[in-house]
Amino acid sequence: MSIRLLNAKRLAQELGRKEVGPRERGYYLVASILVFVAFYYSGLVSANPLWSWLSIYEAVVFTLITVLGFAKAYEAAGGDSNPDFVVEFTCLYVPVSVTTIPLVWGAFWAVTLGFRETIVALAESHFQIAINLSRIGGNFFGLLAFLAVALVQAITFYRITRLFQIVRAEGHGG
């Protein structure tokens, strides 16, 4: 059995057919932690200044997306009738995050580097959004980082929830 770093759909099929053994499941658990560490300590993932209103708002939104996302994923996985939810979720997280995080943060960096002068000009303008962001300790770069954080989490849970449909279909002779 090989670890599926990029093919979440195939992994979902294999999970549904119970073809992912305990050793591979353990590898996915380690890989999920390493994926998180690699992306978030690489410097490619930016965050808002700690303890600013924008970072607090970001934390609240991140938490809400996580709670709602887990609830939806748990329901899609079969809820209480699926004793393998945690293992399946952990396994699916790896290929989903390996493909979602670089896409969203790549777009963030493309926009922030490609339109840097425009973003700085907007931040220094008298547009109401620039004034409001300034009042809460943020700016347009922080707003873009906030959107990237929220999008990664929302897209990840959306994709995992959809993949649980495949896991369940394969598990029922799909």
- Residues 118-125, mean pLDDT to the nearest whole number: 91
CA separation (Å) from 110 to 57, 65, 75?
Answer: 24, 25, 36
Mean pLDDT lowest for which of 33-47, 141-155, 158-172? 33-47
Coil/strand/helix, residue 2: coil
How do the domains of the chain map onto residue ranges? 8-171
Percentage of the chain exceeding pLDDT 70: 97
Under the banding of pLDDT at 50, 70 and 90, the label for residue 148 is very high
- Residues 79-98, mean pLDDT to the nearest whole number: 95
Lookup: tokens for 117: 């002068």
Inform me whether the pLDDT recorded for 51 exceeds 80.
Answer: no
CA separation (Å) from 5 to 90, 116, 158, 167?
Answer: 12, 33, 18, 17
pTM: 0.87
pLDDT score recorded for residue 59: 85
